[in-house]
Structure 1
Amino acid sequence: MKNFFESVFNKFSKWISPALLATILAALISGFILFVPPIHGLADNGDFYRSILSNGIYRLPTSYSQYSDYVIPKFGIMQYFNENNISVLSSQTIFIQLALFLNKLFYSKTIFTIQFMGLIYYLFYLGGIYLLTNAFVHPFRKIRNYFLSLLIVFIFADSAYTLYFNSFFAEPGMFVLMLYICASIISLARNVYAKRWPMITVFFVSTVLLITNKQQNAPLALSFSVVALGVMFLPHFKAKRLATALGIVIVLMAGIGIYKSIGSEIVGANTFQTFSHGTLLETGDPTKKIERGGVDGQFALMRNENYYSKDYATLDPSSPYVKKHLMEKTGFAWIIKYYATNLKQFNNLLDLAAKDITAVQPRAVGDFVRNSGHKPREQVKYFTLYSSLVGAFFPGKYAFDCLLAVGFIAVYSVGLYLDFKSDRYMGILRFFLILGLMTIVVFVPIVSIVGDGDADLAKHLFLIPISLNMALLIFVSDLINHTLWNTKGDKADV
């Protein structure tokens, strides 16, 4: 019997590599939910307008609300001059324009179907899954490598991630680009490809696109610059170190550029929501606290209110009165000073963020199309076991996240030391990748709370679960391949 199974496995592994297996499974699992009618995706919570109007897409008139309850499968394509300026600079436009091109080529020049948006992300996603799996398992086709490929599918084919593809949110682009970023660094570390420059190019292009995908991603330029430092340690690389240094400068400039592109209206919205969803939360009587900061206590009535309010607002956030007496007084310096004198409140907000880390699948919007027999805002349960398990058992404490980050950094600092001492580079690249991922885990919650309070907090923290999952995969891969602290077998000769 043992010989029979070995024979079957040998024949299977001859034709299907671990990377190909992961790609096929991810294609089947995600393709079913995205493209088999009735399709699934994410409904609009009001954020779509920022990306669709500037790209010549508009809502078709309906007799029902197009927000939150159900996925809207069809949109209109503008036929004349588009008077809407680009309100938000974003690399997401590249993905949308590719989807528009395919839609006009194969479907319609007047009606846009959301499935073409899903198709673009789907194709890039499958490429990322293949590169990532190949980076982890190269060059072996042993049982443990097939196990690792199944683990990658279990984690990254989870519908909590792939549902985003059929939407106009920025998150699917971030998810896909993170796959390419990590796959390129791991490929370089494990010497998967004979030439290094293609993976280095993939890393820097993907990084710039991710940072410019969303304006809240600007601080990530620092995290990915840390990751890029590892590339400088590649051997026989002197001629290209200058190009790598230039790449790091471009990454930092991308962060600065996307931050500078934030319009005054968005700055005002963030400032207001930092106050209403941050400083006014997690405290019994905020009136006295804000008065000590020089802000009129009456503004405490604006707790939990949004800048773009769908219901009645206590005061119009965009009114001259609010701008003069609140917005001009509660800038970045005021927020920092407030939290510095209210550390317990700040810690409570960080714990709130820690609880939202596992909320990858948005709960406030539906995942089904209208007339599919499902209730408004009903959530998909198909292939969500991993995200459900993490949501149920992962501790919602910021201190735990920090300890976990310190643990990963400490473990991989040993590999850094040993490889640096032995003139190897796998442990060095791997350490800087882990360090960059852990800076995302530790600092993104702080930036999110200071920058926008708890408004849309789960979406602001989207990269944290991806970073933790990627670190977990690296750790498991090193355990089963016995390369956690001994990378001798992976030393390159070229």
Structure 2
Amino acid sequence: MKENRWSLRENSSLCRYIPIISILGAFIAALFILFYPPMPGIADQGDFQRVMKVTGLTDAKGQDSAHWFKYVVTEYKMLPTSSSRLLGIIPTTSMIYPITFGKLLCKIIGYNYFNTRILAFIYLILYMTGLYICFSCIHFKNIAAAVFFSILSIIILVDGNYIVWFNSLYGESMMIVGFILFISSIIYFLKHREDRSYKKFIFIFISSILFLGAKAQCFVELPLVVFIMLRIVKIDRKQIFNKTNIFLVITTLTIVFYVKGIYCKIDNSCGVDTKFNSVFYGILKNSQSPKKDLVMLGLSPDLSVEAGKHAYLPKSAYVKYIPWSDITNKEFNQKISNIKLAKFYILHPDRLLKGMEYTASKSFHTETSLGKYERSKVSKYNPEFNRFTFWSNFRNLKLPKTLSFIVVFYTLVFLVSFIEYIKNKKNEKITLQIEILWMIMFVGIVQFPMPYIGNGEADTAKQLFLFNYTFDITFLVGCTWIFDKLVATYYKYKRFYFELLS
């Protein structure tokens, strides 16, 4: 009797078609989400200007801020792209690369304006590429687990509340596209580590740039990327000072320069707003003694008059310290720093815990109240969106939005994966895949506290976008592991039953 008719060894010809069929299903679902009329997107809430300014876009003639929050705008006037920014000499958001390619396509097609639907299609191709590589390169013990993983991946990772962001100028779309490409580049490297060509290293380098440069919140993942580069040197060891390792060192230094450059620029612009929010709309918002907290931060107690306010209110809403004003710059901006914020929470773990409980209450929420359609396509403002959103609706309505649930979930996944790692320590394929899972979990764990510490209670759900995405991948892997164990147990007892009969 054959050991398992569902094993990949028994169905090697069939397993080659699983990634192809899976990616076709994912692509069809994504096309329906993005391009079935009326074509959806995400309305601007005032964030697009930062991206447009550095990528060579501006508002089309006749546009004003009246569409903000409520209606999608798909057309923008094209300006020349700075070659210095494109080459990374002036570090710029990684969105400049798909946007520049989109501008080129628009000109070839004959469009007079840049259309974000073209950008959405570029994102879609990149995203599907990353998913296909993952489907193709991940090692499964049996075909049933491979099929289960593929189907669940489509339901979870091609959810409409992820894909709809592609038709916008928000960094969220570049962030998850860059992240899935980064994961796939590592998986591709592990499967082809005997291949001595440089293409796998170039793939890792490009995907790292796209991921880390997508949004400011990705910058904290730089140490992880550097660690992975060093881990690759260890895996690929033949000689320490061979050409490959020297190439990796150069690309790693380039990534560090790129990320540091973007961080410095953002810290001098929107970083001013986030620090204002982190203090006034975070630390001071629910404080029993705001003046005492300000003194501990090295700030004037007089700033307490603005406690509980964020940086985006009308000027008339502030008593004295208006964001970006000279007095606020002197008394607040020049004196506060991320180090002081971190130190405050280290010295007040109870305040940090309360902040994390608030953050947990905003987790698992990838939908948004921003408008989803163009003004000409709908009769009124419509934030509702329900195309292929089965998973995000379930996650938002059914999963506990509590800190205890998140801690227990990640603890269980880590403990089980660690046991599997020890049991399979001689099987490099399995141990390396578990290390990738730990990397994904680490990204999510780092992302979780960032919104509250770095931006107070402002826009928390939106800033948990990457955390939610990494949680979904971890959940996907966990479900696949359970399914694989159930299949293995079923065939184990089935074989035992037949042996008894014989």
Decide: shared fold, TM above 0.5.
yes
The equivalences for 1:296-315 within 5 A come to 296-310=300-314, 312-314=316-318, 315=321
1:42 aligned counterpart, secondary structure: coil
User: Residue 296 of structure 2 contacts residue 344 of structure 2 at CA under 8 Å; is this kept in 1?
Assistant: no
Alignment of 1:163 with 2:164, yes or no, is yes
1:58 aligned counterpart, secondary structure: strand
**Shift of residue 79, structure 1, vs aligned partner:** 7.9
Residue by residue over 1:439-475, the C-alpha shift from the partner in whole angstroms, topping out at 9 and shown as x without a partner, is 2222223333332223232333222122122223333
Alignment of 1:397 with 2:369, yes or no, is no
Q: Which residue in 2 is equivalent to 1:129?
A: 131
> Structure 1 pair 265/259, CA: closer, same or farther in 2 (3 Å)?
closer
**Shift of residue 153, structure 1, vs aligned partner:** 0.5
Alignment of 1:111 with 2:116, yes or no, is no
Alignment of 1:339 with 2:369, yes or no, is no
User: Residue 230 of structure 1 contacts residue 433 of structure 1 at CA under 8 Å; is this kept in 2?
Assistant: no
Q: Which residue in 2 is equivalent to 1:360?
A: 366
User: Residue 285 of structure 2 contacts residue 309 of structure 2 at CA under 8 Å; is this kept in 1?
Assistant: no
> Structure 1 pair 115/304, CA: closer, same or farther in 2 (3 Å)?
farther
User: Residue 99 of structure 1 contacts residue 119 of structure 1 at CA under 8 Å; is this kept in 2?
Assistant: no
> Structure 1 pair 478/202, CA: closer, same or farther in 2 (3 Å)?
farther
Q: Which residue in 2 is equivalent to 1:259?
A: 263
Letter in 2 for 1:455: A
2:114 aligned counterpart, secondary structure: strand
User: Residue 21 of structure 1 contacts residue 149 of structure 1 at CA under 8 Å; is this kept in 2?
Assistant: no
1:24 aligned counterpart, secondary structure: helix
Q: Which residue in 2 is equivalent to 1:408?
A: 413
Q: Which deviates further from its counterpart, 127-136 or 369-378?
A: 369-378
Residue by residue over 1:38-71, the C-alpha shift from the partner in whole angstroms, topping out at 9 and shown as x without a partner, is 2101000100011113333222314771201011
User: What's the % identity of the aligned pairs?
Assistant: 19
> Structure 1 pair 283/484, CA: closer, same or farther in 2 (3 Å)?
farther
1:276 aligned counterpart, secondary structure: helix
Alignment of 1:318 with 2:320, yes or no, is no
Letter in 1 for 2:138: F
Residue by residue over 1:390-411, the C-alpha shift from the partner in whole angstroms, topping out at 9 and shown as x without a partner, is 1122232334333333332322
User: Residue 56 of structure 2 contacts residue 81 of structure 2 at CA under 8 Å; is this kept in 1?
Assistant: no
Letter in 2 for 1:258: I
Letter in 2 for 1:125: Y
Alignment of 1:220 with 2:221, yes or no, is yes
Q: Which residue in 2 is equivalent to 1:462?
A: 465
* Separation (CA, whole Å) in 1 of partners of 2:402 and 2:323: 32
* Separation (CA, whole Å) in 2 of partners of 1:481 and 1:207: 31
> Structure 1 pair 405/372, CA: closer, same or farther in 2 (3 Å)?
same
Alignment of 1:40 with 2:68, yes or no, is no
Alignment of 1:453 with 2:456, yes or no, is yes
* Separation (CA, whole Å) in 1 of partners of 2:49 and 2:186: 35
Alignment of 1:273 with 2:274, yes or no, is no
* Separation (CA, whole Å) in 2 of partners of 1:407 and 1:233: 29
* Separation (CA, whole Å) in 1 of partners of 2:72 and 2:453: 32
2:430 aligned counterpart, secondary structure: helix
User: Residue 352 of structure 1 contacts residue 396 of structure 1 at CA under 8 Å; is this kept in 2?
Assistant: no
**Shift of residue 332, structure 1, vs aligned partner:** 2.8
User: Residue 193 of structure 2 contacts residue 236 of structure 2 at CA under 8 Å; is this kept in 1?
Assistant: no
> Structure 1 pair 373/293, CA: closer, same or farther in 2 (3 Å)?
closer
The gaps in structure 1 that reach 5 residues or longer are: 1-5, 486-494
User: Residue 138 of structure 1 contacts residue 192 of structure 1 at CA under 8 Å; is this kept in 2?
Assistant: no
Alignment of 1:474 with 2:477, yes or no, is yes
User: Residue 22 of structure 1 contacts residue 129 of structure 1 at CA under 8 Å; is this kept in 2?
Assistant: no
Q: Which residue in 2 is equivalent to 1:386?
A: 391
User: Residue 160 of structure 2 contacts residue 388 of structure 2 at CA under 8 Å; is this kept in 1?
Assistant: yes
Letter in 1 for 2:356: L
* Separation (CA, whole Å) in 2 of partners of 1:339 and 1:236: 41
1:75 aligned counterpart, secondary structure: strand
* Separation (CA, whole Å) in 1 of partners of 2:275 and 2:15: 56
Letter in 1 for 2:465: F
* Separation (CA, whole Å) in 2 of partners of 1:51 and 1:391: 29
Q: Which residue in 2 is equivalent to 1:28?
A: 28
What TM-score do the two structures reach when normalised by structure 1?
Answer: 0.83
> Structure 1 pair 428/340, CA: closer, same or farther in 2 (3 Å)?
same
CA RMSD across the alignment: 3.6
> Structure 1 pair 351/224, CA: closer, same or farther in 2 (3 Å)?
farther
Q: Which residue in 2 is equivalent to 1:185?
A: 186
Alignment of 1:434 with 2:437, yes or no, is yes
Q: Which residue in 1 is equivalent to 2:497?
A: none
1:70 aligned counterpart, secondary structure: coil
> Structure 1 pair 386/358, CA: closer, same or farther in 2 (3 Å)?
same
* Separation (CA, whole Å) in 1 of partners of 2:391 and 2:79: 40
Letter in 2 for 1:114: T
* Separation (CA, whole Å) in 1 of partners of 2:429 and 2:324: 53
2:374 aligns with one of 369, 376, 379: 369
* Separation (CA, whole Å) in 2 of partners of 1:132 and 1:81: 34
* Separation (CA, whole Å) in 2 of partners of 1:316 and 1:479: 54
> Structure 1 pair 292/391, CA: closer, same or farther in 2 (3 Å)?
same
**Shift of residue 90, structure 1, vs aligned partner:** 0.9
Residue by residue over 1:321-377, the C-alpha shift from the partner in whole angstroms, topping out at 9 and shown as x without a partner, is 1222233343334323433443322212112222333122233x1112213335424
2:449 aligned counterpart, secondary structure: helix
Q: Which deviates further from its counterpart, 31-40 or 398-407?
A: 398-407
Alignment of 1:101 with 2:104, yes or no, is yes
* Separation (CA, whole Å) in 1 of partners of 2:470 and 2:264: 26
* Separation (CA, whole Å) in 2 of partners of 1:97 and 1:79: 9
The gaps in structure 2 that reach 5 residues or longer are: 1-5, 489-502
Residue by residue over 1:1-54, the C-alpha shift from the partner in whole angstroms, topping out at 9 and shown as x without a partner, is xxxxx9xxx99x969822122222222222123223321010001000111133
* Separation (CA, whole Å) in 2 of partners of 1:179 and 1:50: 24
* Separation (CA, whole Å) in 1 of partners of 2:408 and 2:228: 20
Q: Which residue in 1 is equivalent to 2:496?
A: none
> Structure 1 pair 237/258, CA: closer, same or farther in 2 (3 Å)?
farther
1:218 aligned counterpart, secondary structure: helix
**Shift of residue 194, structure 1, vs aligned partner:** 7.0
* Separation (CA, whole Å) in 1 of partners of 2:115 and 2:260: 35
Alignment of 1:286 with 2:290, yes or no, is yes
What TM-score do the two structures reach when normalised by structure 2?
Answer: 0.82
Letter in 1 for 2:42: L
* Separation (CA, whole Å) in 1 of partners of 2:237 and 2:347: 52
* Separation (CA, whole Å) in 2 of partners of 1:231 and 1:354: 34
